[in-house]
Structure 1
Amino acid sequence: MEGERLLLIFDCDGVLVDSEPLSVGVLVEALTRRGVVISEDQAYARFLGRSLSTVAQILHEDFDHSIDGAFLEDLRHHLYDRFRLSLQPVPGVAAALDGLDWPRCVASSSQPERIRLSLSLTGLLERFEPHIFSASMVERGKPAPDLFLHAANAMGAEPADCIVVEDSPAGIEAARRAGMTVFAFIGGSHAGAPGYRERVAALAPDVTFDAMPDLIHLVRKHAEGPAGRPRHAI
């Protein structure tokens, strides 16, 4: 990063809220009700971090199953019920956010309604509102760079001056393609899924960490730059 300013861009699911096991479980259950057999391990490998449109494309091309309005409504109903019952913030994330002085936003593959519900249920919404960006706002979801570039532009930041905090291979790839620094968080409860850590490592993120409280000193260290020159808020 050569600029003087810094923007923190957070994914939501698996980074701010520990939602991935809930989401994957509900998706697998919904597909099972439609006669599509897929294991949770397969779902993690194929769908983690992907937008709903990309999930729909994969299901159509690889499983010969088309998502319709009834399926989406069924999925949303069960997922939101599961979130209201069980969703928790990633441990230590609130304190980490409060310890970081730089501007921040959320850029998630989820729909805006789901992002705000997740953040509201976990007490994090006020730490981001109104700077919340969804893949529904751009033409292509992750792993395309569109969402992160859109968020940076809306926040008045250059890509080279952005740190993206991501957990999914698709999101890490998207951030790399956007020309942004990537901090890979592998401390979510889905991190034990087979092959997950290997897929993340293969993408060579700039930083990999598994405890959210560590984010404070990692960002501060990065913000000093190679010459120790501080980077300032946007």
Structure 2
Amino acid sequence: MKKCLLFDCDGTLVDSERLCNQGFVIKFAELGIKLDVDLLMFKYRGWELDKILADLSCEFDVRLPNDFAAKYRVVVAELFESELRPIEGIKAALDLLPYPKAVVSNGPIFKIKQALELCGLSDYFGSHIYSAYDIGIWKPDPRIYEFAAKDMGFFDSKDCIVIEDGLVGVEAGYKAGMQTLFYNRFNQTCVFSSVVSFNAMVELPGLINAS
């Protein structure tokens, strides 16, 4: 069977979740609001930025400046430059997976490319990078994965495998009818029975080759 591997980026390929949420801590502290990075990671993994900001501004009853998101992106980019690392074991796993691969992310294209470049992962994916901002579809909408698969030349969902670390992305992969593997480092409960959870990237090649 042909296989197309569709990877999420943040938290799946690159260990960026804490840095992204640290950006929220830094920017909201400027407004006198104290956030907890661990709680942010648990609650918002995989969410669209605009929805996170809307939720936080509502929770703390604060109106964010118009340039808040742009300045947040600058902070995160600086954190990436100094601290971003690939997910442990991901390079070894990718080396053992000789299938067409793509990145499908809710993040903007410049952020995805920066992350892949800094972590030495760009060559695994080439130009096969799909951003929700370019497509106009955000997870958990399954059409983002359907679009990427078709653009890669895979028209049968059964030929595609989604690798995700957050429930929002897992839902998108599952509802697209694709085999979905959940890199579940935080042991979250997944309601989709066919989704396979795993805790370390060393397991990934075996799971994919067995699919």
Q: Could you tell me the TM-score, scaled by structure 1's length?
A: 0.82
Task: Indicate which of 200, 203, 209 corresponds to 2:198.
Answer: 209
Q: Which runs of 5+ in 1 are unaligned?
A: 192-196, 223-234
Structure 1 counterpart of 2:128, one-letter code: H
- The DSSP-based 3-state class of the residue aligned with 2:181 is strand
Q: Could you tell me the TM-score, scaled by structure 2's length?
A: 0.90
Instruction: Please give the per-residue CA displacement for 1:179-214, whole angstroms capped at 9, x wherever unaligned.
Output: 111101124xxx3xxxxx234x33445211111121
Q: Which runs of 5+ in 2 are unaligned?
A: none
Residues 119 and 213 of structure 1: CA distance in aligned 2, closer, same or farther (over 3 Å): same
Task: Indicate which of 164, 167, 174 corresponds to 2:165.
Answer: 167
Residues 153 and 34 of structure 1: CA distance in aligned 2, closer, same or farther (over 3 Å): farther
Q: Does residue 198 in structure 1 map to residue 188 in structure 2?
A: yes
1:180 and 1:107 mapped to 2: Cα distance? Answer: 14
Structure 1 counterpart of 2:198, one-letter code: F
Q: 2:98 — aligned with what? A: 101
Instruction: Please give the per-residue CA displacement for 1:128-158, whole angstroms capped at 9, x wherever unaligned.
Output: 1100001112333111112111111111112
Instruction: Please give the per-residue CA displacement for 1:28-71, whole angstroms capped at 9, x wherever unaligned.
Output: 22122224443224322332101223323433554444555421
1:204 and 1:105 mapped to 2: Cα distance? Answer: 25
Instruction: Please give the per-residue CA displacement for 1:56-112, whole angstroms capped at 9, x wherever unaligned.
Output: 343355444455542123212211111111111111111111111111100011110
Within 5 Å, give how 1:1-234 maps onto structure 2: 4-157=1-154, 158-187=156-185, 191=186, 197-199=187-189, 201-204=190-193, 206-222=195-211
- The DSSP-based 3-state class of the residue aligned with 2:163 is strand
Structure 2 counterpart of 1:173, one-letter code: E
1:66 and 1:147 mapped to 2: Cα distance? Answer: 30
Higher relative contact order (CA 8 A, sep 6+): 1
Instruction: Tell me how many residue pairs correspond in the alignment.
Output: 210
1:147 and 1:35 mapped to 2: Cα distance? Answer: 36
2:60 and 2:161 mapped to 1: Cα distance? Answer: 36
**Between 10-19 and 32-41, the greater mean CA deviation after superposition:** 32-41
Q: Are the aligned partners of 2:158 and 2:179 in contact in 1 as well (CA < 8 Å)?
A: yes
Q: Are the aligned partners of 2:174 and 2:195 in contact in 1 as well (CA < 8 Å)?
A: no
- The DSSP-based 3-state class of the residue aligned with 1:130 is coil
Q: 1:194 — aligned with what? A: none
Let me know the Cα RMSD of the aligned residues. Answer: 1.9
1:59 and 1:65 mapped to 2: Cα distance? Answer: 8
Structure 2 counterpart of 1:198, one-letter code: Q
2:58 and 2:144 mapped to 1: Cα distance? Answer: 24
